[in-house]
Amino acid sequence: MTLTPRHKLLIGIIGVLLLVGLVVYMTQDLWNPPPENTTYQDSGFSFMYPRIYTAEEYDSNAVGIKEKTDGVVTPLVEVIRYQSDPDVALPASYDMFVERQALALCGSDGPVEGLTCTDLVRTPYTSAQGLVGEELSLTLKRTNFESGTTTSETYAPLYVFNATLPMEDPEDTFRYRAVFVYPSFSTAASGNTNLELLAQIIDSLLIPDGVSTIVGR
């Protein structure tokens, strides 16, 4: 079959259109860059955080948001749904469960210094999504093993939202549950808390079981 000039023109136009379409497809990310934020979704909660950071899952309902720079990983914020430990006595109330868990978030001994937390302070808090919970602060005590001196500073803010489900058995060892959002202890202890990231996570936090409420008051 002999191609007429008209056929050749049509083939040429189609070829150009295909080439343009390929170029547009290959460069669409340049024209429409991905959003600055991404969503972390878990069965127990969801929230948004900037794409420049990395989410690392520790376990079900436990994730840390971290920064990776030149091969160095820095933990920034932890979002974890804790529940009462079946291997220890059930706390007498939700308040006691929160206090026990909050104090357990910090505390470590190094070769020169020991770190412990005391003096939990709790303040009612409502997030931008309408979740009712509490804002926590702790007193971080540093003990120098060589000199024996102790200094104190504040570890804050930490946030907790009640995720306890109704239980038929009040003695169920898994009765109490709460979503904790807090600056990573190592980062806070070094004085490098990323408050902007923490605020963004808190403002976008959703708990699928509904609005959290404070109980045990």
172 is a domain residue: yes
- Contact between 4 and 11 under an 8 Å Cβ cutoff? The reply is no
Q: Is residue 70 part of a domain?
A: yes
Residue at 84: amino acid letter: S
Instruction: Say whether both 25 and 126 belong to one domain.
Output: no
Domain span including residue 15: 1-33
Q: Are residues 146 and 103 in the same domain?
A: yes
What percent of the chain has pLDDT above 70?
Answer: 76
- Same-domain status, 66 and 16: no
Any idea which residue has 């934020």 for tokens? 37
Higher pLDDT, 18 or 4: 4
Q: Are 177 and 163 in contact (CB under 8 A)?
A: yes
pTM of the predicted model as reported, rounded to 2 decimal places: 0.79
Mean pLDDT, range 79-96, rounded to an integer: 88
Could you tell me if 43 and 16 lie in one domain? no
Higher-confidence residue: 209 or 57?
57
Looking at the structure, tell me whether residues 25 and 66 fall in a common domain: no
Strand partners, 116: 141
In a domain, 109, yes or no: yes
Work out how many domains the chain is built from and give that number: 2
Q: Which ranges of the chain would DSSP assign to H, the alpha helix?
A: 5-26, 28-31, 94-104, 185-189, 195-204
Do residues 136 and 95 share a domain?
A: yes
Q: Are residues 60 and 132 in the same domain?
A: yes
